[in-house]
A and B are shown apart, each in its own frame.
Chain A
Amino acid sequence: MSGCNRYLKIRSRRDFLTQTALGFGTLGLASLLNPYKSYAADASVSSPALPHFTPKAKRVIYLFQNGAPSQLELFDYKPLLNKMVGQELPESVRKGQRLTGMTAGQTSFPLVPSFVPFKQHGQSGTWVSDLFPNQSRIVDEICVIKTMHTDAINHDPAATFIQTGSQFPGRPAIGSWIDYGLGSDNENLPAFIVLISKDRYGQPLYSRLWGNGFLPSQHQGVEFRSGKDPVLYLNNPEGVSHEDRRAQLDILGQLQQGQSQRYNDPEIEARIAQYEMAFRMQTSVPEITDTSNEPEYIHELYGPESKNPGTFAANCLLARRLAEKGVRFIQLYHRGWDQHDYLPKGIQRQCKDTDQASAALITDLKQRGLLEDTLVIWGGEFGRTNYSQGELTETNYGRDHHPKCFTIWMAGAGVKKGMTYGRTDDFGYNIVENPVHVHDFQATLMHLLGIDHERLSFKYQGRRFRLTDVHGHVVNDILA
């Protein structure tokens, strides 16, 4: 009997437990195993029936731009700044709002416009700067939100906030919440996968950004890496072949069966299933991460770097492949957007890295019909100041952190196309219309997946925790 058939047999016998242990439908397991608590203290208030309502999105691809890209050079066009270049940021605009410890001591806050021109694009007439020639061409597919704002003013807390709903370590990542709530649509791949651009540095990344926090650890994001071991510990050691492993697992399975009889513990059966899942991952993961069999026109779409595994372009292509396989939450990270100084030079390099592939992902998903039920998000952790950090010269300036407004875009499942949402003031400093707080963004993301953000909770240390804490409103205006 081949290993796979054997596995199917076990599965049908122990379907429920196996599924549970694989991470689908995990809500309710705790009470099943712990009837004592369930009498009242742990009675589940949040509906275990997930999704709570019909989802628009089945999966998410989140292109996280770590370090905080400047909205003022990319999407939020402010012609007034061109007129006022070098003039002081009026106190009537700043209104004494706090600055980072890095510019709080500056005595001068000279306004600085974008060094690149902006144009309107597409039927929607969306403003995009010349730094994003490719994304300019997909503006009619995306919804640009110009009025994101956050509570945090520095990278670590801000990235932790937008990714976990709290500025400080310890909470589950968005992807972990989604995995916990919805589970996986693919039995051979994890539901929450993380891809990080290689060789691009800047602000640090931490595994806690895709960590499970207080949720069970099967909900932590699994990093897919470029190189020979695409998932940690995936490869058999040298000298052990796939066939050797199969034979070993067959014997191990029989040993486990004996142990199961000895102790009558259903956990052992669940463990056997995990080994089979691991075995299947050994085949499925290298298959999915090998993009060399993609046709040439696809590589051309994503750009030449898409053939170089681990680059942002290659990760975008891989994200599309994972989406095709039903992976629930695909989290990309691209670093290097922290342009405190030498902004013109720095941001051009970043745009070159990311523009084509970001646009290609949308185009590619669309041509496959996947954009219908895939939500794509592009954005960083906060915005950048409209005044120069460091001296403003003819050709050079920098921008400090700015939590009061920043731009992200969303595209695909359930989001209005060709829309620009929210308005900042003419200085690009404060929001004047339709603010979207980080918690609102998270609530909207969950809503698109069919989750009521107020009802997906996890009881930990005596309190029901949610991704959105006690905040968050779905931004209905951007829903298609």
Chain B
Amino acid sequence: MKHRGSHPKMKIKTITFHTVLLTLFLVCRLCLAGDHHGSQVILPDTIDFNFHIKPILADRCYKCHGPDDNAREAEMRLDQKDGAFGDLGDGYFPIVPGKPEESEIIWHIFSDDEDDLMPPPDSGYSLTVSEKETIKKWIEQGAEWKDHWAFVPPQVRPSSLAELQKKELSNGKGENRIDHFIVQKLQEHELSPSSEADKEHLIRRLSFDLTGLPPDLEHIDTFVTDDSPVAYERLVDRLLATDAHAERMAMEWMDVARYGDTQGMHADRERFHWPWRDWVIKAFKENLAYDEFITWQLAGDLLPNATTEQKLATAFHRNHPVSAEGGIVDEEFRVKYVQDRTNTTATAFMGLTMECATCHDHKFDPVTQKEYYQLFAFFNNQMEIGMVAEGGGSSGPVLLLPEPDAEKPLTELSQEIDRTLRQLESTVSRIVAEKNFIETAKSQIVQAPSAYAFFPFDCVLPKKIEVEGYIHRVVRNTPIDKIVDDNPVSVASGEPRIVNGRIGNALEFDKEYDLVFLRDTGTFEMNEPFSAGAWIRTDKEGVNQSIMGISGDLTNQAWRGWDLFLDTQNRPSIRFISFWPHNYMQITADISIPTASWHHILFTYDGSGRADGMNLYINGKKQNCFTDYDHLYRTIVHPWKEQEGWKQKPVMVGRSGRFYTGDNGVFSGSIDHLKLFNRYLTTREVAALYHDETETPVNPDIFTDEDYVDHYLNHDDPGAQYLIKKLQDLTGRKLKLLEDVPEIMVMEEMPETRKTFVLDRGQYNAPTDEVTPGTPEKVLPFRDEWPRNRLGLAHWLVDQQNPLTARVAVNRYWQMIFGRGIVDTPEDFGIQGALPSHPELLDWLAVYFMESGWNVRDLLRTMVTSNTYRQTSATTKDHWEKDPGNIYLARGASDRLPAEMIRDNALKASGLLIQKVGGPSVKPYQPEGIWMKPSESDYKQDSGESLYRRSLYTYIRRSTPHPAMLAFDAPSRSVCVVKREKTNTPLQALVLLNDPQFVESARVLAQRMQFEGGESVESQVRYGFRLLCGRSPDSNEIRLLKKQYEIALDKYKSDPVAADEILCLGAYPFDYRLDRFQTAALTMVASTVMNFDGAYMKR
């Protein structure tokens, strides 16, 4: 690309000439095209780098001349001072302060040569006249360079402080510090503040902002008549102390935290997650400091002596959607989950669009791709998988959440188990201490144990067996059409061949559909001792091979069951799974078996629920094993539902599952003489079994003293046998108790750190450089004393020097109260984000917030007690013309209420609202057929109280959220959202007019109006209007509503059937003491008011 152009002197000439020409040309073009910059060729007196220049450079230039090393053109870098003012070589400089004519960028942006013009004309990034002139003027004024405002820690200017202190002294009433900043800006824009809103408006606005609910009429009356100078402050404090306030704060956080009641992808089934939502409510109720609020959610589990509550808080980062779609590539999705945590952390706490650096260095902000994966590394260390279980499955790290009354018996049982274990230990010590014990034991002869189920695999006969269902899905198109050994329990699909076996014949498996199903046998609970083994011979190496097992995935139930297999090194391995990948145990022998020869492989299990209760044997000899994982604490019995006569999930021999990730694949080779034992086998018994089958004598040298003790305990010592049995029973009881104890997904570190790599183009399968946990350097260096884990990340975030966290938080709460953030892009404080409308105010609030101990309630109190907040929201012509968006707040904020509040207002006005805090999400009215089949996910509408809970508790199925909520811009909670859209659509009108929730509320309100609203229609209408709108109707409104009443009354009198129809709507019964026609007519009145601006708007 041609950049460095002609002789500098010629440039000056060209610029002058072309500036004139261009301006002329562009002005014409602007007139034609209506470019909205046309009127802005008037430039500010002082051009500020951050406010005027950087936005232009960032938007139009940084894509090629910004932080991304790989995208940089012409070696020109304009996002850093060094680059912008540095020598490009040959004495050319991008920017020469005070000298636009010598500045390369001026030459390029004003060039009339298409090859020189920057940005390139075909890029779609062309500059407007005013933008070019702004850059020029800035250079003329000396081109003062400033760091990006948001990366400089917030400071309160000494001059501001002094003025503030003066204000406080001189102004005892009303005006607070916020007003100081607001008034200053208003003056700059020649605006003047509005008067205070009347008290009816104030209390309604305040109630919605702080509690999400309208005020009670009594509270309105009390407030309106309270002449005390502190009446307003008293009201604020009362509202801040309510449960409703905590719920309102939680409502805001749910969007940020992407909370949902379902998994989020594919079949999108339910997840158990609401206790986390209730924790959020509790945290706000207790006014947990914001720094702790963040720390607990990011790293509560890593705090010293972490409490259950602190661990529960970390469910925040398990809120992201997950997929249970069969056959997805596991790692691809796991990486997505970690990316979601990374992106959410950046958006929610840092106001940074880190996501942009997933595939390459950030184009605008100083965040490298490496830094993205350093942040990613904090969240990459969970024991989790990409494909989660279907239905109610909390997978990965979880926290057991027993009800308080279930907790005690569980603790007691655990204690009793410990006691019994100790008794058993002392029994063992006693036996070992006995002299001559070993010698006596050695002389005993041990018989080979008899099998509970025995499959010699000697012959295969064709037999048609009709199966569809899940079994069929394992074998796909292959019929199960063979019977093995003439035993109806063992059936086969494919073509397992009869070959010479170790004993008699054996079955050879060489295709994936060659497999044997053992029906209705082999299902054991984890407190039941059992053992199993077979002769095997394989030629394969390098991949897992399933010998036999029950855990292979048929129904996406987290691989529940047990599984004996050879690992990639042909080492025998046994695992018992309750819920993959966090609730299982596994041991693997430390020796590989040779290929192409017969080996007897067997495992034993003593029912203890511990990995040391499992043993692996090769050819009758116990093996040294290592423990892969040892955390099994729930049932291993698959929740199989009988299908086509198959009562239990079958044991599959020769393969496991449906080839999903986590299934141990196809066995290649022969299997013979498979035996299951419904008890624990001692080392001596296994040896006896082996030697029985091989017809060779037992070599006693292989036994250790422990083996003798173990055999004796299990067979000859009634005391020990009693204790062993007792332990099994106690474990069984514990399992039973745990059956109903739910688990919630939380964060927990794996013992060994998973390595993190930069992922090329963000692709899971393209790792490049290894990285360790870290944070973006330009924001704030990571201190050495902080641990490089999530807790350290939390420390980094809430450090007083972090320039973002406090600003981002106060901005979001400002947005909640004033309808618009001081930074209007609460998700982006970076270079591409909006600039703060009141930078000093933002900094003051941020500093104040931190100094107050991150006190959210105090922050809100400060906001709502300002004069700024208390202004009337009525707009004057002057305000509208100068500031239609009310950025400078010369009037109070007005906003359409969020979806939840619109519904809650109607419910509260009618008296239907149930104000109960917390609990499982509820399913109120929803049109039929929204949740599409498959039928397991039919929407089952609740009844009774659950129809009338606050909308915070409405069940959120993320793939199909409640349509009435969606219509009013509630997000689907799939991703972190810090700002809702505010739209105005016909669908909203249809919801308010026709949704049974609103029609029923109108009808019940009509009843309430008659019971409580006085005798006359007018007073009843007035009462209903006040309940919905928080103010009394004026005479015109009364006139219109009475007219509505008359019209409707006439109609219903002449059409009683219609009256009955509307009175029957909804679950709440009509009170037949009331007049049908009047109630129907008042229902129409109430409905009209519900659809009226005064009801759905905050004014």
Instruction: List chain A positions with a Cβ less than 8 A from chain B.
Output: 21, 23, 28, 31-43, 45-47, 49, 98, 100-108, 153-157, 168-170, 196, 201, 204-208, 211, 215-218, 220, 222, 225, 227, 229, 231-241, 244-245, 247-248, 251-252, 254-256, 258-260, 262-265, 267-268, 270-271, 274-275, 277-278, 281, 340-342, 388-393, 396-398, 401, 454-455, 459, 461-463
Residue of B nearest to A203 (CB): B266
Q: Which of B264, B665, B833, B873 contacts A462 (CB 8 A)?
A: B833
Residues on B with C-beta less than 8 A from A170 are 974-975
- CB atoms of A108 and B131 under 8 A apart: no
Residue B328 is within 8 A (CB to CB) of chain A in the complex: yes
- CB atoms of B353 and A463 under 8 A apart: yes
Residues on A with C-beta less than 8 A from B1092 are 252, 255-256, 259
Residues on A with C-beta less than 8 A from B432 are none
Residue B613 is within 8 A (CB to CB) of chain A in the complex: no
- CB atoms of B265 and A233 under 8 A apart: no
User: A293 to B1058, alpha carbons, bound, how many Å?
Assistant: 29
Q: Which of B365, B975, B995 contacts A233 (CB 8 A)?
A: B995
Known contacts A108-B511, A220-B966, A252-B1088: A102-B33 contact under CB 8 Å: no
User: A47 to B124, alpha carbons, bound, how many Å?
Assistant: 8
Least CB distance from B286 to A in Å reads 32
User: Can you name 7 A-B residue pairings with CB atoms under 8 Å?
Assistant: A196-B932, A232-B930, A248-B1087, A277-B989, A390-B513, A462-B828, A463-B353
- CB atoms of B353 and A267 under 8 A apart: no
Residue B659 is within 8 A (CB to CB) of chain A in the complex: yes
Stretch of B153-161, B471-479, B624-632, B789-797 lying at the A interface: B471-479
User: A473 to B992, alpha carbons, bound, how many Å?
Assistant: 44
1/0 per residue, CB under 8 A from A, across B254-277: the answer is 000000000011111000000000
Known contacts A237-B1065, A244-B1048: A218-B990 contact under CB 8 Å: no
User: A237 to B1066, alpha carbons, bound, how many Å?
Assistant: 11
1/0 per residue, CB under 8 A from A, across B1075-1096: the answer is 0000010001001100111100
Interface residues in B, total, Cβ within 8 A: 135
Least CB distance from B1075 to A in Å reads 15
User: A231 to B933, alpha carbons, bound, how many Å?
Assistant: 19
Residue of A nearest to B877 (CB): A264
Known contacts A105-B665, A216-B981: A233-B659 contact under CB 8 Å: no
User: A34 to B885, alpha carbons, bound, how many Å?
Assistant: 6
User: A264 to B128, alpha carbons, bound, how many Å?
Assistant: 34
- CB atoms of B1088 and A207 under 8 A apart: no
- CB atoms of B124 and A45 under 8 A apart: yes
Instruction: List chain B positions with a Cβ less than 8 A from chain A.
Output: 33, 36-37, 40, 52, 55-56, 59-60, 124-125, 128, 131, 134, 264-268, 321, 323, 325-330, 336, 347, 353, 355-356, 364-365, 387, 473, 475-478, 494, 511-513, 658-661, 663, 665-666, 668, 824-825, 827-828, 830, 832-835, 837, 873-877, 880, 884-885, 887, 894, 896, 927, 929-930, 932-934, 958-961, 963-964, 966-967, 969, 972, 974-975, 981, 983-991, 993-996, 999, 1034, 1036-1037, 1040-1041, 1043-1044, 1047-1048, 1051-1052, 1057-1065, 1080, 1084, 1087-1088, 1091-1094, 1099
Of A201, A244, A391, the most chain B CB neighbours within 10 A belong to A391
User: A205 to B662, alpha carbons, bound, how many Å?
Assistant: 27
Residues on A with C-beta less than 8 A from B1062 are 237-240
Residues on A with C-beta less than 8 A from B875 are 263-265
- CB atoms of A204 and B959 under 8 A apart: yes
Residue of A nearest to B351 (CB): A462
Residues on B with C-beta less than 8 A from A241 are 1051, 1058
Known contacts A201-B933, A244-B1051, A455-B124: A222-B1037 contact under CB 8 Å: no
User: A33 to B983, alpha carbons, bound, how many Å?
Assistant: 13
- CB atoms of A240 and B325 under 8 A apart: no
Known contacts A101-B327, A237-B994: A42-B834 contact under CB 8 Å: yes
Q: Which of B347, B961, B996, B1036 contacts A258 (CB 8 A)?
A: B1036
Residues on A with C-beta less than 8 A from B40 are 39
Known contacts A201-B934, A393-B477: A208-B834 contact under CB 8 Å: no
List the 9 closest A-B pairs by CB distance, nearest first.
A390-B476, A105-B659, A239-B1062, A239-B1061, A462-B828, A102-B327, A206-B959, A101-B327, A238-B1061
User: A267 to B1093, alpha carbons, bound, how many Å?
Assistant: 10
- CB atoms of B827 and A233 under 8 A apart: no
Residues on B with C-beta less than 8 A from A33 are 884-885
Of A37, A217, A401, the most chain B CB neighbours within 10 A belong to A217
- CB atoms of A154 and B327 under 8 A apart: yes
Of A169, A241, A396, A459, the most chain B CB neighbours within 10 A belong to A169
Q: Which of B267, B329, B985 contacts A204 (CB 8 A)?
A: B267
- CB atoms of A462 and B827 under 8 A apart: yes
User: A256 to B984, alpha carbons, bound, how many Å?
Assistant: 15
Residues on B with C-beta less than 8 A from A278 are 986-987, 989-990, 993
Residue of A nearest to B999 (CB): A237
Residue of A nearest to B57 (CB): A40
The total number of A-B Cβ pairs within 8 Å is: 319
Residues on B with C-beta less than 8 A from A389 are 476
- CB atoms of A263 and B985 under 8 A apart: no
- CB atoms of A43 and B59 under 8 A apart: yes
Residues on A with C-beta less than 8 A from B874 are 262-264
Known contacts A43-B59, A101-B660, A263-B875: A235-B994 contact under CB 8 Å: yes
Known contacts A170-B974, A264-B874: A461-B828 contact under CB 8 Å: yes
- CB atoms of B824 and A37 under 8 A apart: yes
- CB atoms of A247 and B512 under 8 A apart: no
Least CB distance from B889 to A in Å reads 12
- CB atoms of A154 and B328 under 8 A apart: yes
Known contacts A102-B327, A207-B961, A237-B994: A398-B477 contact under CB 8 Å: yes
- CB atoms of B1059 and A251 under 8 A apart: no
Known contacts A234-B990, A239-B1062, A256-B1092: A156-B512 contact under CB 8 Å: no
User: A254 to B1047, alpha carbons, bound, how many Å?
Assistant: 15
Least CB distance from B1064 to A in Å reads 8
- CB atoms of A102 and B1058 under 8 A apart: no
Residues on A with C-beta less than 8 A from B966 are 207, 217, 220
Least CB distance from B334 to A in Å reads 13
- CB atoms of A463 and B267 under 8 A apart: no
- CB atoms of B989 and A275 under 8 A apart: yes
Q: Which of A47, A258, A274, A391 contacts B476 (CB 8 A)?
A: A391
Residues on B with C-beta less than 8 A from A270 are 984
Known contacts A235-B994, A462-B832: A169-B264 contact under CB 8 Å: yes
User: A343 to B1063, alpha carbons, bound, how many Å?
Assistant: 53
- CB atoms of A98 and B927 under 8 A apart: no
Residues on B with C-beta less than 8 A from A168 are 321, 336
Least CB distance from A414 to B in Å reads 23
Residue of A nearest to B543 (CB): A105
Least CB distance from A110 to B in Å reads 10
User: A428 to B1051, alpha carbons, bound, how many Å?
Assistant: 69
Q: 6 additional contacts, CB 8 Å, given A43-B59, A274-B984?
A: A100-B327, A101-B387, A211-B972, A237-B994, A252-B1092, A391-B476
Residues on B with C-beta less than 8 A from A207 are 930, 959-961, 966, 972
Known contacts A229-B927, A241-B1058, A278-B990: A101-B975 contact under CB 8 Å: no
Known contacts A154-B328, A237-B994, A393-B477: A36-B972 contact under CB 8 Å: no
Least CB distance from B1042 to A in Å reads 10
Least CB distance from B1091 to A in Å reads 6
- CB atoms of A256 and B824 under 8 A apart: no
- CB atoms of B986 and A206 under 8 A apart: no
Residues on B with C-beta less than 8 A from A398 are 476-477
- CB atoms of B988 and A105 under 8 A apart: no
- CB atoms of B264 and A35 under 8 A apart: no
Residues on A with C-beta less than 8 A from B994 are 233-237
Q: Which of A31, A225, A237 contacts B996 (CB 8 A)?
A: A237
User: A423 to B1091, alpha carbons, bound, how many Å?
Assistant: 58
- CB atoms of B477 and A392 under 8 A apart: yes
Residues on A with C-beta less than 8 A from B266 are 155-156, 204
